[in-house]
Amino acid sequence: LRAEADAGVDPESTPDVGIIMGSDSDLEVMSGAHDALAELGFAEQTDFHDAPDARFTYETYVVSAHRTPELMYAYGETAAARGLDVVIAGAGGKSADLPNMTASIAYPIPVVGVPVQEKSVDSVIGMPTGAPIVAVDAGKSFNAALSAAQILSREHDELRERLVEYHEGLVGGVARDSRDLHD
């Protein structure tokens, strides 16, 4: 990671969103973020030095706060230099150290914490004054990705439009459900 951070790659070809989780057992919940980003036209970048063509990209890492604290530290510290703009971090147990510590180390990059289970909510959200993190509801990695896109859309009008299009699809779905009820 530190090598990548030093590589001085053009920001346009680095991932915009970093998705991290503490264990591959969190992947099932966290894959909602993949779904949402795919829905919005993001491409996954699996090799830092070989960016996909898509304008917006994301990467995914397993980084454990407790089993690999050094790796977590390195990920947070190099996030800015590696060109990330937002980090989505999942937390699997009652101790949500991964999103919390990453929010502190990667600061001032915004971190959206995803409590993987209901019991992680308090710990993800409960940062002390002066140490910001924002959180979504338990298991809602899909919404975390929408929020990440909303953040990026402040700067990128293109994303704003994609978000609006996505929402219009939802409205149509509700109308359809209501009609189906009457049949």
Q: Could you give the CA distance from residue 58 to residue 38 in angstroms, rounded to a whole number? A: 10
**Residue type, position 123, single letter:** S
Q: Which residues contact 11 (CB under 8 A, 6 or more apart)?
A: 83
Q: Residues in the chain, how many?
A: 183
Q: Which CB, 6 or 122, lies closer to its own copies?
A: 122
- Interface segment toward its own copies; rule CB under 8 A; list 7-15, 49-57, 175-183: 175-183
Name the nearest CA neighbour of 112 among 82, 83, 84, 143: 143
Is residue 170 a contact point for its own copies (CB under 8 A)?
yes
> Phi and psi (nearest 5°) for 20?
-130, 150
Is residue 63 a contact point for its own copies (CB under 8 A)?
yes
Is residue 154 a contact point for its own copies (CB under 8 A)?
yes
Is residue 34 a contact point for its own copies (CB under 8 A)?
no
The pattern of x and - marking residues 79 through 118 that bind its own copies according to CB under 8 A reads ------xx-----xxxxxx--xx-xxx-xxxx-x------
Q: Given candidates 5, 79, 89, 133, which one binds its own copies under the rule CB under 8 A?
A: 133
Q: Which residues contact 157 (CB under 8 A, 6 or more apart)?
A: none
Q: Given candidates 51, 71, 74, 81, which one binds its own copies under the rule CB under 8 A?
A: 71
SS3 content of the chain, % helix, strand, coil (to 5): 50, 15, 35
CB of 82 vs its own copies, minimal distance in Å: 15
Is residue 126 a contact point for its own copies (CB under 8 A)?
yes
Q: Given candidates 18, 32, 83, 90, which one binds its own copies under the rule CB under 8 A?
A: 32
Q: Which CB, 9 or 73, lies closer to its own copies?
A: 73
CB of 88 vs its own copies, minimal distance in Å: 11
Is residue 11 a contact point for its own copies (CB under 8 A)?
no
The burial of 119, by beta-carbon neighbours within 10 Å (0-12 exposed, 13-18 middle, 19 or more buried), is given as middle
How big is the CA angle at 4 (ends 158 and 24), to the nearest 5 degrees?
80
Is residue 131 a contact point for its own copies (CB under 8 A)?
yes
